Amino acid sequence: MTIVPPAVAQSRTALPLAARATGPYIYDDDGNDYLDGSSGVLNVNIGHSHPAVLRAVEQQLGQLTFVHRSQFRNQQALDLTSRLLSIVPGAAAVEYTNSGSEANECALRLAFAYQHRRGAARRTVILSEQPSYHGMTAAALSITGSPGKRDPSVEPLLGPRAERVLVRPKPGRRRATHEEWATALLAAGPSKVAAVVVEPLGGASSGASPIDAETMQWLRRETRNHGIVLIADEVMSGFGRTGKWWACDHSNIAPDILTSGKGLTGGYTSLAVTVVAESIATAIGEPLGPIALGHTMSANPLACAAANAVLDVLEGEELLGNAATAGRHLADALTTLCDRFPGLVSDQSGIGLMRALHIDPGRPADTNKRILAAARANGLVLCAAGIDGTTQSVLVAPPLNSTPDVIDDLAARLGRTLTAIAESPA
């Protein structure tokens, strides 16, 4: 028998029991509705129970659910690969995993393999940022700039061989500038650096805070000049969430390796991708498979069928355009809420439909968690972001097919939530 500590048991039973979901709404077993204001954890990008995906998955279930990639090719994976190669600038190869963490783990392995193959095995430094979130597997966690995610007990598993340097913005800023990156790069020694990993639009750690385009372009230029692999982590920001396929597109740069997941399957199945530029793939040589991170279920036909159906919906319903339009509507609504609740929410940020409300730094460090609980009581699902009291925020990111009515409903529920927090003592 498993003994569940009372605190854990209480927090689990405090959550509603989800019964069904359709479009942007989830219903619990008592029939209460919740507007999915964060698209799950920014993955349910086309809403719940989309008929086109249900049809595609059902058909694939009856036709072919699994073959291993070492034994057969499958048409769904082949189709998905060619679609990904056409939407990621400069891409030449795709590796499949089951989660965003694994996609980043795979990207780091490929970056190190690339350096090794070209005789630069001495490059063992990885630069990333704090705040950042790159996942829970060992290498991905080791470059994550979010101290709360690193329990001391797992430190020995994070590997002593590669050196990680966390580039930190000045207090009061959420993202590092190119001057701060330049200082870190110089201190590490550019010829020792294997890879730079960035979230072009920060998610769970910095709350929909973009790197400015100038810094992103500086990173692209300098990494290329110094033979460093630039990895863009678009696990959260990819697949149209920002109104373009990739957050990198807003800075007009193409990374050497792009990772993504979440919106790829819209939450219908598990699948993530590591998309590799020609120069890296060629230097490593085919096949990448033995170096990349392959799992039993990687690129299985069912998951790929769901991803192909989600891409059909994104393209057929022109949801990148809608993400941009609805994103402006949402940004206006969030700005209005900042004006209505000064001293509680200080500003809003984001691109397209990946946005966040930032908590006033004068507020207690758990204010974003209190907002989440109050939102739930007001029929709204949100995600918390931030790594400490000064970076705390709530992510507001409804599905990309949200209509103006849905955005208005979200703003109304959020308004009631903030009223409840403003009126109750901390």
Ligand X SMILES: Cc1ncc(COP(=O)(O)O)c(C=O)c1O
Question: Does 266 sit near ligand X (CB under 6 A)?
Answer: no
Cα–Cα distance measured from residue 72 to residue 39, given in angstroms and rounded to the nearest whole number: 34
Residue 135 C-beta: closest distance to ligand X, Å: 4
Decide whether 272 or 305 has the Cβ nearer to ligand X: 272
Report the amino acid identity of residue 262: K
Decide whether 241 or 413 has the Cβ nearer to ligand X: 241
Residue 129 contacts residue 175 (beta carbons within 8 Å) = yes
Cα–Cα distance measured from residue 102 to residue 96, given in angstroms and rounded to the nearest whole number: 9
Count of other CB atoms within 10 angstroms of residue 38:
24
Tell me, residue by residue from 354 to 393, as one string, x for binding to ligand X by CB under 6 A and - for no binding.
Answer: ----------------------------------------
Q: Helices (DSSP H) in 229-380: which residue ranges?
A: 278-284, 301-316, 319-340, 367-377
Strand 25-28 to 163-167 pairing: unpaired
Decide whether 104 or 367 has the Cβ nearer to ligand X: 104
Residue 166 C-beta: closest distance to ligand X, Å: 15
Question: Does 199 sit near ligand X (CB under 6 A)?
Answer: yes
Decide whether 101 or 378 has the Cβ nearer to ligand X: 101
Q: How distant is the alpha carbon of residue 108 from its chain centre?
A: 17
Question: Does 236 sit near ligand X (CB under 6 A)?
Answer: yes
For the CA atoms of 274, 167, 395, 209, the dihedral, rounded to the nearest 10 degrees, stands at -100
Residue 29 C-beta: closest distance to ligand X, Å: 26
Query: How many residues interact with ligand X (rule CB under 6 A)?
Result: 15
Tell me, residue by residue from 13 to 52, as one string, x for binding to ligand X by CB under 6 A and - for no binding.
Answer: ----------------------------x-----------
Which DSSP string do the residues of 139-187 spell out, in sequence order? HHHHT---GGG--GGGGGGG-SSSEEEEE-PPTT-SS--HHHHHHHHHH
Residue 214 contacts residue 221 (beta carbons within 8 Å) = no
Return the structure tokens found at 313: 């919906």
Site for ligand X in 84-143 (CB under 6 A): 99-101, 104, 133-135
Cα–Cα distance measured from residue 348 to residue 336, given in angstroms and rounded to the nearest whole number: 10
Question: Does 209 sit near ligand X (CB under 6 A)?
Answer: no
Q: Which of 105, 233, 249, 256 binds ligand X (CB under 6 A)?
A: 233
Residue 362 C-beta: closest distance to ligand X, Å: 28
Query: CA of 345: how far to CAs of 72, 394, 414, 415, in Å?
Result: 53, 10, 12, 11
Residue 49 C-beta: closest distance to ligand X, Å: 21
**Which residue in this structure is represented by tokens 């990904």?**
84
Question: Does 235 sit near ligand X (CB under 6 A)?
Answer: yes
Q: Which stretch binds ligand X (CB under 6 A): 231-239, 311-319, 320-328, 351-359?
A: 231-239
Decide whether 260 or 378 has the Cβ nearer to ligand X: 260
Question: Does 207 sit near ligand X (CB under 6 A)?
Answer: no
Q: Which of 37, 47, 131, 203 binds ligand X (CB under 6 A)?
A: 203
Nearest to ligand X by Cβ — which residue? 100
| Residue closest to 111 by CA, chosen among 236, 242, 230, 209 | 230
Residue 364 C-beta: closest distance to ligand X, Å: 25
Decide whether 265 or 348 has the Cβ nearer to ligand X: 265
Cα–Cα distance measured from residue 37 to residue 375, given in angstroms and rounded to the nearest whole number: 10
Residues at the contact surface with ligand X, assessed by CB under 6 A: 41, 99-101, 104, 133-135, 199, 203-204, 233, 235-236, 261
